[in-house]
Amino acid sequence: MTSLLSAIAQVLAALGALLSVGSPAAVPAPATAPTYVAMGDSYTAGPLIPHQLSDPPGCLRSDHNYPHLVAEARGLSLRDRSCSGAETEDLASPQAVRGGPNPAQLDALDAAVGTVSVQIGGNDIGFHEALQACAAPLPLGTPCQDRYVRSGTDEISRRIAATGPKVAAALAEVRRRSPTARVFVVGYPAILPEVHPGCWPLMPFTPGDVPYIRDKEKELNAMLATQAAAVGATYVDVYGPSIGHDACQLPGVRWVEPLIPLAPAAPVHPNALGMRGMADALLAALAP
């Protein structure tokens, strides 16, 4: 039996040699996939959404965040540099995180990059700090507005205006490093309902404060859209598609988890469904 198997192997080897005669010396490697660089904060990274990556672990970056979903759908080679807690300054400088640092996100860019997405600004304005500060023990009054709007000055609006030039500088640097890339600025999805006064205590904001918080998120998105237009980038609206999928909706409908998440996600952050929704919005923008 052993000699028979050996003979068969020799015959197959000989046939292989014969069949290779006249063939090219090497099979050309498939073309390199176009490169997509994703930059952003926790709304890009996907904290606590399975499966969490470890490069570095403190970024809480998921392999099912919207950059990964988009790259898979479009056959792109992904460089995902998003990191939870990132501010605009972390695009240009290393960010200290557990197991880090996370390298400067802009360093992922080069002249060959074809697609770039940027989702940043929420941490610059202290949006999640404000959400914590605005939580009310009773659904009464307007404690959030009382805290942030004083003597005719809206502190959140001031922060949004101050963040605009930082976003502009980052986008200009994207253009300088990757001059032929298609650049997409991704907004933030709806956290609170569009029409009714919230869902205290699931999201512990008073009915009087819900319109204010909702308007501040829209103001942030409007600033991002303005900065995108100024450099010829495409603004990707994820707020519109997410209406009706806010944190007050039922599991399986909402894109953003409430203060106490039921799906694997960080509090008041996108879940896997939200990442899918944002991916669809970016894919639609990529379509032309």
Q: What is the 3-state secondary structure (H, E, C) of the chain?
A: CHHHHHHHHHHHHHHHHHHHCCCCCCCCCCCCCCEEEEEECHHHHCCCCCCECCCCHHHCCECCCHHHHHHHHHCCEEEECCCCCCCCHHHHCCECCCCCCECCHHHHCCCCCCEEEEECCCCCCCHHHHHHHHCCCCCCCCHHHHHHEECCEEHHHHHHHHHHHHHHHHHHHHHHHCCCCEEEEECCCCCCCCCCCCECCCECCCCCCHHHHHHHHHHHHHHHHHHHHHCCCEEECCHHHHCCCCCCCCCCCCCECCCCCCCCCCCCCECHHHHHHHHHHHHHHHCC
Among this protein's residues, is 42 annotated catalytic?
yes
Among 64, 68, 245, 269, which one carries the catalytic annotation?
A: 269
Among 3, 42, 54, 68, which one carries the catalytic annotation?
A: 42
Residues identified as active-site: 42, 269
